[in-house]
Amino acid sequence: MKTVTIAEVLAWKPCEEYTKERLRKLAGRRKKMSALQILALKIPVADRFWAILKHGFLSNKDLRLFACDCAEHVLGIFEKKYPEDKRPQECIETARRFAHGLATEKERDAARDAARAAGDAAWAAAWAAAWAAAGAAARDAARDAAGDAARAAGDAAWAKEEAWQVKRLKKYLEEDK
């Protein structure tokens, strides 16, 4: 299981509020922290996700699948408004197939473009899932898909969506042990 030290986290250039002293306090007596330990920290979800999703704790495949999960979790918002429009769902399905090595880059790009054309709040989440299948962009896109999904859920549901995302990400991290 991958772990990181405070020095490694500082090398990632976190927000200026995460000083060496604050990171030491968050780590407690630990010299190294795992992704599950970072996920349990009492800091904003976005900060936990930044550390975990951007810095090599998950494989590109799992990052892509997590992005798809986040997009799919809020897909109902789009489908409620546009029940006949299947482009975002098709985009997510193609992104999942791509993550498993079962779709080509051309198919992925076409699905992403179709989802982009769909519009609405859930478009951002669906598009991010397709973009997450883009290989090198997977780490940033997984983080972005989680944020887009939370925003698509609406302000009232934001905390609930973040809690779901934390639980879902934890599942991927536990499977990776």
Q: What distance in Å separates the CA atoms of residue 68 and residue 115, rounded to the nearest whole number? A: 13
Q: What is the pTM of this model?
A: 0.80
Percent of the chain with pLDDT over 90: 39
149 and 67 within one domain: yes
E strand or H helix at 9, and its extent? helix 6-11
Please indicate whether residue 124 or residue 9 has the higher confidence score (pLDDT). 9
Most confident of the following: 49-63, 64-78, 111-125, 135-149: 49-63
Domain boundary among 33, 54, 75: 54
66 and 46 within one domain: no
Condensed to tens digits (0 to 9), the pLDDT of residues 148-170 reads 665 665 665 677 778 888 999 99
Condensed to tens digits (0 to 9), the pLDDT of residues 33-56 reads 999 999 999 999 889 999 998 888
| Domain span at 149 | 60-175
- The two most distant CA atoms of the chain are separated, in Å, by 55
Task: Please answer whether residues 141 and 112 qualify as being in contact, where contact means their C-beta atoms are separated by less than 8 angstroms.
Answer: no
| Three-state secondary structure readout of 123-152 | HHHHHHHHHHCCHHHHHHHHHHHHHHHHHH
Cα–Cα separations (whole angstroms), residue 45 to 126, 147, 159, 164: 21, 10, 10, 11
Report, as an integer, the average pLDDT of 136-145. 56
